[in-house]
Amino acid sequence: MSTLTIDKAGPTRKLGSMSRDRAWALRWSYVFLVLFAIFFLTPPVYMLITSLKSSAEISAATNPWWVFHPTLSNYVELLTSNQFLRFFWNSSIISIVVVIVTMLISIPAAFALARMKFWGSATLATGVFLTYLIPDSLLFIPLFKMLAVIQEFTGVTLLNRWYVLVFIYPTLTVPFCTWIMIGYFASIPKELDEAAIIDGASWLQTLLRIFIPVALPGLIAATIFAFTVSWAQFLYPLVFTTSIDQLVLPVGITTTLIKGDVFNWGQIMTGALLGAAPPLVIYAFLMDYYIAGLTAGATKG
Amino acid sequence: MADVVAEQGRRVSSARPRKATSLRNMLGRKSTVAFLLTLPLILLIALLVLYPAFYSLYLATLNKAMTKFVGLGNFTFLFKRETFWMVVKQSCIFAITAVVFKALIGFIVAHFVHNIPGKKQRKWRGMLLVPWVIPPAMSTLAWLWLFDPSYSAFNYTLSFFGVGPIPWLGDTFWARFSVILVNVWYGAPFFLIMYLAALKSVPDQLYEAAAIDGANWWQKMWYVTLPMMRNIIAITTLFSLIVTFANFDIVRILTSGGPLDTTHLFATWAFQVGIQSSDIPLGACVSLFMVPILAVAAVFILRDVSKRGNEA
């Protein structure tokens, strides 16, 4: 509103009409944003609505968009069932380990690629980016067969073990994290690390004392990204794990709560909501880092 | 190695033990350090991405029991199957339609959000990005429930407008519509955030200059906004094309390829053939058909990325 009054004080008539245009543009923006927000938020809201209903209310022919007799029974049932807690635990431990592994691999690599020009460094940086473009749906069959072959030759059980996923997920997270870390490291002024090297710091000290603290926002963005990707991964665990105690959350909910044609929608929606909760909570607090990470991948060369 | 030896020779007379010095020299050398720092990355890419990719090529040339080399037999077998051509068609319809709508919605919503004054923008941005944050397997379950044939919330709502129950996932047209809708819902926020970042990077002076020259809204859009955003639009679209083309979660949960295999994409069909029917070579073969599309998109993206790298 303040811009409106300022513009009205403007000298010419032309400016006045412009400000009126702007006010209308703003009003229309809000109208359409509300419509799009409804479209974008309907499924998560509906998840929440359904999760608060009893099975009787779900199958009753009442208005599905409202909860008449809210109950927490779905939450109680899920959170006291061993299965669900097992899935949640598997997902959490895998995601946390994957984040650590990803950081251990991508930070040193990004440092080397951003600062130490060496033979093949440009090719490797491009290669990292290309790897990021290779989807999981291209690699799941050969990886499945590879695990089976290794299992055959060494006798070590790899298929149907959740911890194998810890080795596979970094193929999804490391390329992107390395890529955005290269961007962040490259934006650090050269004088900083040159001064450190002149003062006698080793490469490792330069990395730990200068690059990591200065590029912390980028690091947080990469961490969130790695966590979200490993938490959401569906294809690899679906292919590589089958026993109930080895499943992760997305696969666990879709395979155990749906029995044949019987859908226990109250519990499925509760499970889905609880499964969506960790990324949503992280995002609620660290949205700006998450967005920075998303955009850094494509906007930083 | 040669200069390490030379250095060793020069330092023979020094008091320090020879071996330790040369080791430290080697560790101190930039290229060695750089190599060691990138080694885990190289190993990861080589063993878990490149090797499987080529292994997939090898697998695709075996017979079902994986005992005999059949050359291009699997490929010729696929070419003769009607389902294969349906998958090709559906993958293209799915990817192109979904990407076009995601880009359009992302572009439009980004402008609306950009119009909102500073402080409130953050709140709207936060709300509109939610679909991108929820794991797709989870949100697709919510869509599955919204599409449910008997208790569908959508059909319930539509009945108030006198529109009969729609068989969302039971009919070929509606099933295709539904998987695309869910993909657009999931992917549009990504475009939104990219375009918003691009919009913010357009300097205000350009619009002021255009306004002084008497440009109307369309002219500003066409001659200022679009040229400034061209790079990001191209890169985001190509990147999304790859991801959409290779999509698995949404179709798998929503329709599992049905009705009658009409919504299968390469990924979901490869899963059904390769894992569920345990014909690994044929499955590998199916998923390999994604490679040409991915390669073309990758070449374009790479050209764009390196061009920008040179400008910087």
Instruction: Check residue A15 and give its pLDDT.
Output: 52
For B43, which residue in chain A has the nearest alpha carbon? A105
Spell out which residues of chain A touch residue B198, defining contact as CB-CB under 8 Å.
299
Q: Give the end-to-end CA distance of chain B in Å, rounded to a whole number.
A: 35
Instruction: Check residue B24 and give its pLDDT.
Output: 61
* For residues B266-285, average pLDDT: 89
pLDDT exceeding 90 applies to what percent of chain B? Answer: 17
Which of A113, A126, A170 has its CB closest to that of B302? A126
Query: How would you classify the pairing of strands A262-263 and A258-259?
Result: antiparallel
pLDDT at B165 over 50: yes
pLDDT at A9 over 50: no
- Note whether A131 contacts B: Cβ–Cβ < 8 A: yes
Instruction: Check residue A13 and give its pLDDT.
Output: 46
Touching B: A residues 141-180, CB under 8 Å: 141-146, 167-168, 170-171, 174-175, 178
Cα separation of B230 and B199, whole Å? 11
The pLDDT-based confidence of A89 (bands split at 50, 70, 90) is: very high
Instruction: Check residue A8 and give its pLDDT.
Output: 41
Cα separation of B43 and B49, whole Å? 10
- State the smallest CA–CA distance between residue A140 and chain B in angstroms: 9
For A59, which residue in chain B has the nearest alpha carbon? B151
Instruction: Check residue A56 and give its pLDDT.
Output: 75
Q: For residues A222 and A181, is the Cβ–Cβ distance under 8 A?
A: yes
> Would you call A40 and B235 a contact, using CB atoms and an 8 Å cutoff?
no
The pLDDT-based confidence of B162 (bands split at 50, 70, 90) is: confident
* For residues A17-29, average pLDDT: 76
* For residues A101-106, average pLDDT: 93
pTM: predicted TM-score of the whole model, two decimal places: 0.85
> Would you call A37 and B124 a contact, using CB atoms and an 8 Å cutoff?
yes
Instruction: Check residue A11 and give its pLDDT.
Output: 45
pLDDT at A189 over 70: yes
Residue of B24, B36, B44 to mutate when probing chain A, most A C-beta within 10 A: B44
The pLDDT-based confidence of A134 (bands split at 50, 70, 90) is: confident
Residues in chain A: 301
How high is the ipTM of this complex? 0.85
pLDDT at A65 over 60: yes
Touching B: A residues 5-44, CB under 8 Å: 25-26, 29-30, 32-33, 36-37, 39-44
Instruction: Check residue A18 and give its pLDDT.
Output: 61
Residue B257 Ramachandran class (φ > 0 left, ψ -120 to 50 alpha, else beta): left
* For residues A266-289, average pLDDT: 89
* For residues B267-282, average pLDDT: 89
Residue of A137, A235, A240 to mutate when probing chain B, most B C-beta within 10 A: A137
Strand partners, B77: none
Tokens of B285: 């073969």
Cα separation of A207 and A199, whole Å? 14
Tokens of B122: 């953050």
Instruction: Check residue A170 and give its pLDDT.
Output: 93
pLDDT digits (tens, 9 = 90+) for B37-66: 889 999 999 899 889 999 988 888 887 777
Q: For residues B272 and B282, is the Cβ–Cβ distance under 8 A?
A: no
Touching A: B residues 181-220, CB under 8 Å: 185, 188-190, 193-194, 197-198, 201
Instruction: Check residue B163 and give its pLDDT.
Output: 78
Closest CA to B87 of B258, B280, B276: B258
Spell out which residues of chain B touch residue A145, defining contact as CB-CB under 8 Å.
55, 59, 280, 284
Cα separation of B245 and B281, whole Å? 21
Write the DSSP assignment of B83-126 as a string of letters: HHHHHHHHHHHHHHHHHHHHHHHHHHHHHHHHHS-HHHHHHHHH
> Would you call A131 and B138 a contact, using CB atoms and an 8 Å cutoff?
no
The pLDDT mean for chain A works out to: 83
SS3 label, residue B32 = helix
* For residues A153-181, average pLDDT: 89
Closest CA to B254 of B150, B175, B172, B160: B175
- Note whether B72 contacts A: Cβ–Cβ < 8 A: no
* For residues A271-293, average pLDDT: 88
- Note whether A58 contacts B: Cβ–Cβ < 8 A: yes
pLDDT exceeding 90 applies to what percent of chain A? Answer: 25
- State the smallest CA–CA distance between residue B308 and chain A in angstroms: 6
Sign of CA dihedral A66, A67, A72, A74: negative
Instruction: Check residue B6 and give its pLDDT.
Output: 44
For B136, which residue in chain A has the nearest alpha carbon? A232
Spell out which residues of chain B touch residue A7, defining contact as CB-CB under 8 Å.
none
* For residues A21-40, average pLDDT: 85
- State the smallest CA–CA distance between residue B9 and chain A in angstroms: 25
pLDDT at B5 over 60: no
The pLDDT mean for chain B works out to: 82
- Note whether B33 contacts A: Cβ–Cβ < 8 A: yes
Cα separation of B243 and A135, whole Å? 7
Which of A238-242, A243-247, B93-97, B118-122 is the least confident region? B118-122
Tokens of B36: 């060691």
Question: How far is the CA of A4 from the CAs of A19, A30, A280, B212, B214, in angstroms?
Answer: 6, 17, 37, 19, 21
For A263, which residue in chain B has the nearest alpha carbon? B145
Tokens of B14: 């020094």
- Note whether A139 contacts B: Cβ–Cβ < 8 A: yes
* For residues A44-70, average pLDDT: 82
> Would you call A135 and B45 a contact, using CB atoms and an 8 Å cutoff?
no
pLDDT digits (tens, 9 = 90+) for B189-235: 999 988 888 888 888 888 888 888 888 878 888 888 888 888 888 88
Tokens of B242: 């790859």
- Note whether A237 contacts B: Cβ–Cβ < 8 A: no
Touching A: B residues 94-113, CB under 8 Å: 105, 108-109, 111-113
Which of B156, B249, B312 has its CB closest to that of A64? B156
Instruction: Check residue A169 and give its pLDDT.
Output: 93
Residue that the structure tokens 């997305």 belong to: A250
3-state SS record for chain A: CHHHHHHHCCCCHHHHHHHHHHHHHHHHHHHHHHHHHHHHHHHHHHHHHHHCCCHHHHHCCCCCCCCCCCCCHHHHHHHHCHHHHHHHHHHHHHHHHHHHHHHHHHHHHHHHHHHCCCCCHHHHHHHHHHHHCCCHHHHHHHHHHHHHHHHHHHCCCCCCCCCHHHHHCHHHHHHHHHHHHHHHHHCCCHHHHHHHHHCCCCHHHHHHHHHHHHCHHHHHHHHHHHHHHHHHCCHHHHHHCCCHHHCCHHHHHHHHCEECCEECHHHHHHHHHHHHHHHHHHHHHHHHHHHHHHHHHHHCC
pLDDT at A257 over 80: no
Closest CA to A32 of B122, B101, B111, B126: B111
> Would you call A138 and B125 a contact, using CB atoms and an 8 Å cutoff?
no
pLDDT digits (tens, 9 = 90+) for B16-26: 455 556 666 65
> Would you call B148 and A265 a contact, using CB atoms and an 8 Å cutoff?
yes
Question: How far is the CA of B300 from the CAs of A281, B235, B303, in angstroms?
Answer: 36, 8, 5
pLDDT digits (tens, 9 = 90+) for B108-126: 999 888 888 878 888 888 8
Cα separation of A74 and A53, whole Å? 8
Q: How many CB pairs under 8 A join A and B?
A: 291
